Structure 1
Amino acid sequence: MTGWLPLMLELAMIPAIIGAINLLLLRAPRGYAPPGTLVSILIPARDEAANIATCLAAALASRGTAIEVLVMDDGSTDATAAIVAAIAATDPRVRLLAAPPLPPGWTGKVHACARLARAARGTHLLFIDADVRLAPDAAAAMAGHAVRRGLAMVTGVPRQEIRSLGEALTVPLISFLLVGYLPGGGRAFTRHPALAAACGQLVLVDRTAYVAAGGHTAVRGVLHDGLALARLMRTEGQWTEVVRGASLATCRMYPGFREAWLGFLKNAREGMATPIGLPIWTTVLAGAHLWPWFLLPAPQAMAALALGFALRAAVTLWAREPWWTVPLHPLTVAVALAIQWTALVRGALGLSAGWKGRAYPADRTA
């Protein structure tokens, strides 16, 4: 095993270098949108009674640009629609829409987003999840950044609220992978689709560019809609960019481990969990963050672990996530790989991916 030590150190050094560069360059957008900008804040909602009122309150507190807020009730069985209707009755900026039955070949959120975009009036469309809380300046700053930089899409990872061990073992890897393992971190230094990135919780698009690329209709069968939309736009020759999202919004994705496991499992097959990609990702991640533990106290193993923890600590600070999650980093990597391998095996067995009462076949097309 000692012959692996140089490789382990290299596997830890590469993301540390990529991460250091990305942490310096990934900044939050600042400033306001130009006159005449209207940002349509678009919220697909399915059984979101626990979240929707707070989400709307934050969206309606937006400043620096004109806004409208559209909520698509996507077949909710709880009080989601009633809550939105009550708020809409007191604020003309809010509109409640009802999603028609899901057509064949579509996933639920993507269909709701496509319908929302069709009904929106804005120059820019800001898609958020119902568990996202926008900062007051977020809509204006993202739209202004898009206009100043000539971007078709601006996206970022909101500050993730993590309150349980189950969340700590899953959620932090979102920002860690973005910063440490994507050269450029999704910035608009290239339009190559392979280097695109996006977080579906917080995506702003220029309406004209979005329509020209085909919008959500062109990615109707995917579950990881933000990433698919970013790749689509880059394929169409448009610029997309990831910005630091911690100051733009907050989000608590899941209340615990079970929900987090199922949530990440449904998206895995559109990420790492492919027959070719996952063995490579397993080598890269386990080689840097797990295998060195078995070769302690070799100096190279200690150096590899130190680099991994240093990067995780820096990303945690950048993402404004809880410090107590940092010591859990090796377990977070192990859980992430377990989720990906579970998704790959389930896909090979033809088992469907499900979310909020809907099941999507393993062989669906993107």
Structure 2
Amino acid sequence: MTLPVLLADAGRLIGVVLLGLQVWLLFVLLARLAPGYSRRPPIAPRRTPRTDTTVTVMVTTLNEANRVGPCLDGLMQQEAPLLEVLVVDSRSTDGTRELVEAAARKDPRIRLVTDDPLPPGWVGKVWALESGLREAKGDWVLGIDADTVPAPGLVGAVIDAVEQDRYDVASFSPQFRDQTAAERFVQPAMLTTLVYRCGAAGATQPPPDRVLANGQCFIARRDLLLANGGYSCARTSWCDDVTLARHLAANGARVGFLDGSQIIQVRSYASLGEMWREWGRSFDLKDATPMWRRWLDVALVWAVQGLPLPTLLVLGALLATGTIALTNAPHAMLWRALLLVNGSALLIRLFMLWALRGSYAERGISFWCSWLADLAAAWRLTLSTARRPKAWRGRSFESLPA
């Protein structure tokens, strides 16, 4: 048997295996995306106060002087039901505390809280949230990240949203702003992997082990948190928001994940490199998802997001050179099926780009071309799944258990 024949046989075998995997995972993807067609529209800010409940906002900080100012400005514009803003600081040394104290002099609802030294076995942010929960007095506890910009009417809007759908816990996806062109090229592809793995924001509630959450804007009933051990279930988690949401959902809470692009904006990272490192640290959801399912999700992302475009390019090149043919040739049905399946996957991906456009304050050509970064996103997800991080925001967590 000659080398060209061997290569042709190997190519057909690869094509059959790839086709079988892609057909199966494409049906899985469609089942996850289908509820998104009837998803709830983005939450709108509430224009009037409401006094029938109270909300404690908690902001955790560690050297956030360059980012916390717009967050505090946005919180000072909130009306009732906001009761208090607890800024839980972990002994910042960059002027964060002075900024918070200055804001507190303008708005007595703002209070600076210093958490106790980090105990063994806790991630710093989760410990700060646990410390803030012990001080909170509101009926609801709303976690807001320091790098977010809350729109006026955010607090009332999230209460309206949870009450409308009778949620005990809910979080809200933000609108990303002030990204570089390089970030707008890569980050939407990474965000798409989350939608592919967990479904769309605003859709029907998935099973507890598929619940998605966003700690940048995360609200829960205070008595529910206390009854379920506070944040302790997520004390070692790199994706504490998803771990907590899934824990509460598994214990009977009604948990929602909604589109908050009109009520909160975020500028999380200063560059593409920082985004690649810091977001990639946790976006495989390793502490909230069994290992076998994480690797199945990696396979799904490669099969229906990362590989369709390269597969179509390879098939196009083979057709152009006459190496394969679509009619009156052996195995033509295989090549036609591969073209159909990968073309369908690419069309779904382009539709997702349109569906996600509202999550970006600025778009431009780099956003609309971000589907070309799908291979990079699939590779970053693979790296994140294979590795466990040991540091975050300048802190080392070498001793955390796996």
Cα deviation, residue 294, structure 1: 3.1
Greater shift, 212-221 or 290-299, is seen at 290-299
Cα deviation, residue 220, structure 1: 1.4
Which residue in the other structure is 1:312 paired with? 353
Greater shift, 286-295 or 249-258, is seen at 286-295
**Equivalent position amino acid for 1:168 in 2:** R
Cα deviation, residue 111, structure 1: 0.5
Cα deviation, residue 40, structure 1: 1.2
Which residue in the other structure is 2:223 paired with? 208
| Equivalent residues in 2 for 1:43-62, closer than 5 Å | 43-62=59-78
Which residue in the other structure is 2:40 paired with? 26
Cα deviation, residue 276, structure 1: 2.7
Cα deviation, residue 341, structure 1: 3.0
User: Which whole-Å CA distance do the structure 2 matches of 1:233 and 1:197 have between them?
Assistant: 12
CA contact (8 A) 1:12 1:288 kept: yes
Greater shift, 33-42 or 129-138, is seen at 33-42
Greater shift, 168-177 or 158-167, is seen at 168-177
**Pair 288,269 (structure 1): closer, same or farther in 2 beyond 3 Å:** closer
Cα deviation, residue 59, structure 1: 0.9
1:237 to 252, 258, 281: 252
Cα deviation, residue 340, structure 1: 3.1
**Pair 329,157 (structure 1): closer, same or farther in 2 beyond 3 Å:** same
Which residue in the other structure is 2:370 paired with? 328
User: 2:173 is paired with a residue of what secondary structure?
Assistant: coil
Deviations 1:42-88 (A, max 9, x none): 10011100111111000111135333211111121200001111111
List gaps (5 residues or longer) in structure 1.
none
Instruction: Give the alignment's Cα RMSD to 1 decimal.
Output: 2.8
What TM-score do the two structures reach when normalised by structure 2?
Answer: 0.80
Deviations 1:291-332 (A, max 9, x none): 22333236423333222212222222466662531312241x
Percent of aligned pairs sharing the same letter: 23
**Pair 50,14 (structure 1): closer, same or farther in 2 beyond 3 Å:** same
Deviations 1:92-149 (A, max 9, x none): 1110111221001110000011111111211111101101111112111111222343
User: 1:155 is paired with a residue of what secondary structure?
Assistant: strand
Cα deviation, residue 278, structure 1: 4.5
- How many residues matched? 359
Which residue in the other structure is 2:5 paired with? none
CA contact (8 A) 2:171 2:213 kept: yes
Which residue in the other structure is 1:197 paired with? 212
**Equivalent position amino acid for 1:312 in 2:** L
User: 1:286 is paired with a residue of what secondary structure?
Assistant: helix
User: 1:156 is paired with a residue of what secondary structure?
Assistant: strand
**Pair 86,336 (structure 1): closer, same or farther in 2 beyond 3 Å:** same
User: Which whole-Å CA distance do the structure 1 matches of 2:96 and 2:258 have between them?
Assistant: 31
User: Which whole-Å CA distance do the structure 1 matches of 2:146 and 2:88 have between them?
Assistant: 10
What TM-score do the two structures reach when normalised by structure 1?
Answer: 0.87
Greater shift, 201-210 or 14-23, is seen at 14-23
User: 2:270 is paired with a residue of what secondary structure?
Assistant: coil
Which residue in the other structure is 2:84 paired with? 68
2:302 aligned with 1:302: no
User: Which whole-Å CA distance do the structure 2 matches of 1:76 and 1:364 have between them?
Assistant: 26
Which residue in the other structure is 1:261 paired with? 276
User: Which whole-Å CA distance do the structure 2 matches of 1:23 and 1:320 have between them?
Assistant: 22
**Pair 340,176 (structure 1): closer, same or farther in 2 beyond 3 Å:** closer
1:246 to 247, 251, 261: 261
User: Which whole-Å CA distance do the structure 1 matches of 2:194 and 2:172 have between them?
Assistant: 10
Larger radius of gyration: 2
**Equivalent position amino acid for 1:304 in 2:** A
Which residue in the other structure is 1:354 paired with? 391
User: Which whole-Å CA distance do the structure 1 matches of 2:37 and 2:390 have between them?
Assistant: 34
CA contact (8 A) 1:40 1:120 kept: yes
Cα deviation, residue 165, structure 1: 3.8
User: Which whole-Å CA distance do the structure 2 matches of 1:236 and 1:180 have between them?
Assistant: 25
**Pair 277,315 (structure 1): closer, same or farther in 2 beyond 3 Å:** same
**Pair 74,66 (structure 1): closer, same or farther in 2 beyond 3 Å:** same
User: Which whole-Å CA distance do the structure 1 matches of 2:136 and 2:291 have between them?
Assistant: 40
Which residue in the other structure is 1:224 paired with? 239
CA contact (8 A) 2:71 2:146 kept: yes
2:109 aligned with 1:93: yes
User: Which whole-Å CA distance do the structure 1 matches of 2:192 and 2:362 have between them?
Assistant: 11
Which residue in the other structure is 1:15 paired with? 29
Deviations 1:129-180 (A, max 9, x none): 1011111121111112223433211111110125214422543246524444
Cα deviation, residue 263, structure 1: 0.8
Cα deviation, residue 280, structure 1: 2.2
